[in-house]
Amino acid sequence: MLAVLTGGTGGAKLIQGLSLETDPAELVIVCNTGDDFVFHGLHISPDLDTTTYTLAGFADTERGWGIKGDTFATLEWIGKYGGESWFKVGDRDLATHLTRTRLLNEGLTLTQATEKIRKALGVRSGILPMSDDKVETRIRTPAGEISFQEYFVKERWSSEVSGVAYAGVAKSRAVPGVVEAIRKARAVIVCPSNPVTSIGPILAVPGVRQALEETPARVIGVSPIIQGAAVTGPADKLMAAMGMEASSFGVAKAYADFLDTFVIAPEDSSQRNRIEALGVETVATAIRMNSLDDKKRSAREVLALV
Amino acid sequence: MLAVLTGGTGGAKLIQGLSLETDPAELVIVCNTGDDFVFHGLHISPDLDTTTYTLAGFADTERGWGIKGDTFATLEWIGKYGGESWFKVGDRDLATHLTRTRLLNEGLTLTQATEKIRKALGVRSGILPMSDDKVETRIRTPAGEISFQEYFVKERWSSEVSGVAYAGVAKSRAVPGVVEAIRKARAVIVCPSNPVTSIGPILAVPGVRQALEETPARVIGVSPIIQGAAVTGPADKLMAAMGMEASSFGVAKAYADFLDTFVIAPEDSSQRNRIEALGVETVATAIRMNSLDDKKRSAREVLALV
């Protein structure tokens, strides 16, 4: 079994590749839930959804979110009522949020709701939220604190960021399967996701980081940064805001206590010595994933390290 | 101002006609909310919706419910998750339920939520729920008690009915505007709606029946029954189950204490003497409303009595 830690877009690319290059039933995906939020009364888990849709084979991989071919009739009509429509919920996607919200209201945990959803969609990989407890990634901006989705989707990461907090994380408990997966895996793969707002919240859940440090499995990371710039999203901006070096080295340094191997882009070969000085082995190979072939190739590179 | 008491389908036909044959701003529509129910966590008010969509001009008048041209992507996808999909919620329609539920959760009354929705859709007529309190029409069947929507939509009124109750009605309060509209109207129009499950709950709200009895306005009813059969829906079956005569006379008798004039079909002319013996004036004219012309003609007939 391979344990995979991921956020949304960037991680989903590698996960798609992994699911095609190995038996999907071998994968246990641990998803960030710090981006979860309530929209029109519905519990939305963007990273769980992106992961589930990706593994079910109907993710919209061009847009990077939602369901391929989805329509937006409900959202357009919500706009007529003056309701907020900045988060682009498709009609099919909405069924997931309605179902999850109903299941949670019926008393199921987020883990149990996620399990029902992935089974209904025929997904064979395990999908686990990092925690069943509420952890909320909060972005501090000059105008005040906002949720990650407000920062990421509503403001399209235009705000200046002075800090990031994972509200509730200290009291949160990891889903038992998460720690178990990390400890028992053949290898742990840390996806090329935002180290501050995707992987960061997972690592902050009590017990997860320790499990990563202690697992006998090889922990393999893939850099979300190439030549100082995030491949997708605001990872570089957020790293800089957190006082981290926005580079492959900066990511490796944040993970150095548990990372065995870090896969970086050939363009970042100049950083290999600095990263290896952290005690982290490096592999330089093409990790930009634009096409399906890119995703499969990157997945093969990672699987070769397992 | 004309006060109009209505349920869903049958009443909507007359309301469409009225809105085209008089100034819609003159109409105050009082809707049954005994059919309201919660579906996937959303507060659905079928009769308020049908009325609002009808007045907004985009009701699906062929089907008799929902929005014309609506799609059903969310509901189909909910089916994938094994969720209940017997109540046909369209994608655009869903936006109404999400908005209403959000507004109610924000602390608005059903009256206030209804007002926001009808204004957003450009409806100039007043639309009032009979009560802001929960009143639930319960249908007793051999298999147990079920909600009206379960009986009407899920079971397509196939169950044998042994009784009907309006749970919560004794403690409910009429929306203040309802009693005021009835008392101050130039005329009150009781739509050709189900007397047991559409008009019945409105009449059972404390104060409404008294206002109808006391209003100086002429109270004009239109029969939902022609030759002993409901024009649409299970009115005849439910009347029989309640020990009422399933006929125009039976409806007139149920309304006799407040009804001044009852409009019946020419086919029911033989019942005129019996109805007039109740102290109710009768008018026999074509009231079957299949086409838009039918609806307009029926509306003109009613308006001529005002």
Q: Would you give per-residue pLDDT tens digits along chain B (306 residues)? A: 999 999 988 999 999 999 999 999 999 999 999 999 999 999 999 999 999 999 999 999 888 899 999 999 999 999 999 999 888 999 999 999 999 999 999 999 999 999 999 999 999 999 999 999 999 999 999 989 999 989 988 888 888 999 999 999 999 999 989 999 999 999 999 999 999 999 999 999 999 999 999 999 999 999 999 999 999 889 999 999 999 999 999 999 999 999 999 999 999 999 999 999 999 999 999 999 999 999 999 999 999 999
Dist CA A296 CA B166 (whole Å) = 61
Dist CA B295 CA B287 (whole Å) = 8
Size of interface A-B (CB pairs under 8 A): 99
Average pLDDT over residues A9-18: 95
DSSP-assigned letter for residue A87: S
Joined together, the tokens standing for residue A10 give 């960037």
Pick among B53, B58, B91 to test the A interface (most A CBs inside 10 A): B91
pTM: 0.93
DSSP alpha helix (H) spans, A186-247: 199-204, 208-214, 235-241
Question: Which residue ranges make up each domain of chain B?
Answer: 2-134+170-305
- Is B91–A70 a contact, with Cβ atoms under 8 angstroms apart? no
B259, B251 contact by CB (below 8 A): no
Indicate the pairing of strand B218-222 with strand B187-190: parallel
Dist CA A189 CA A15 (whole Å) = 10
Position A154 pLDDT exceeds 90: no
At A201, is the pLDDT very low, low, confident or very high (cuts 50, 70, 90)? very high
B213, B257 contact by CB (below 8 A): yes
CA angle B16, B225, B21 (to 5 degrees): 20
Residues 119-138 of A with CB under 8 A from B: 120-121
Q: Is B153 on the interface with A (CB under 8 A)?
A: no
What DSSP string describes chain B? -EEEEE-SHHHHHHHHHHHHHS-GGGEEEEE--TT-EEETTEEE-HHHHHHHHHHHT-B-TTTTSSBTT---HHHHHHHHTT----S---HHHHHHHHHHHHHHHTT--HHHHHHHHHHHTT--SEEEESBSS--EEEEEETTEEEEHHIIIIISTT-S---EEEEETTTT--B-HHHHHHHHH-SEEEE-S--TTTTHHHHHHSTTHHHHHHH-SSEEEEE-SEETTEESSTTHHHHHHHTT--SSHHHHHHHHTTT-SEEEE-GGGGGGHHHHHTTT-EEEE------SHHHHHHHHHHHHHH-
Describe the strand order of the beta sheet including A218-222 as a list of residue ranges.
A126-129, A27-31, A2-6, A187-190, A218-222, A261-264, A281-284
SS3 state of residue A303: helix
pLDDT of residue A156: 87
Task: From B219, B223, B9, B31, select the one nearest B123 (Cα to Cα).
Answer: B31
Q: Is B156 on the interface with A (CB under 8 A)?
A: no
- Is A78–B95 a contact, with Cβ atoms under 8 angstroms apart? yes
Cβ atoms < 10 Å from Cβ of A55: 25
- Is A81–B95 a contact, with Cβ atoms under 8 angstroms apart? yes
ipTM over 0.95: no
Exposed/middle/buried for A211, CB within 10 Å: 0-12, 13-18, 19+? buried
pLDDT of residue B64: 85
**Chain A residues touching residue B57 (CB < 8 angstroms):** none
At A153, is the pLDDT very low, low, confident or very high (cuts 50, 70, 90)? confident
Per CATH, which fold does B2-134+170-305 belong to? Rossmann fold (3.40.50)
- Is A41–B92 a contact, with Cβ atoms under 8 angstroms apart? no
Dist CA B178 CA A21 (whole Å) = 66
Joined together, the tokens standing for residue B108 give 């608005």
pLDDT of residue B159: 85
Joined together, the tokens standing for residue A54 give 């990706």
Pick among A53, A78, A91, A93 to test the B interface (most B CBs inside 10 A): A91
- Is B80–A95 a contact, with Cβ atoms under 8 angstroms apart? yes
**Chain A residues touching residue B92 (CB < 8 angstroms):** 73-74, 76-77
Dist CA B117 CA B125 (whole Å) = 12
Distance from the first to the final alpha carbon of chain B: 11
Joined together, the tokens standing for residue A149 give 């989705």
SS3 state of residue A280: coil
At A157, is the pLDDT very low, low, confident or very high (cuts 50, 70, 90)? confident
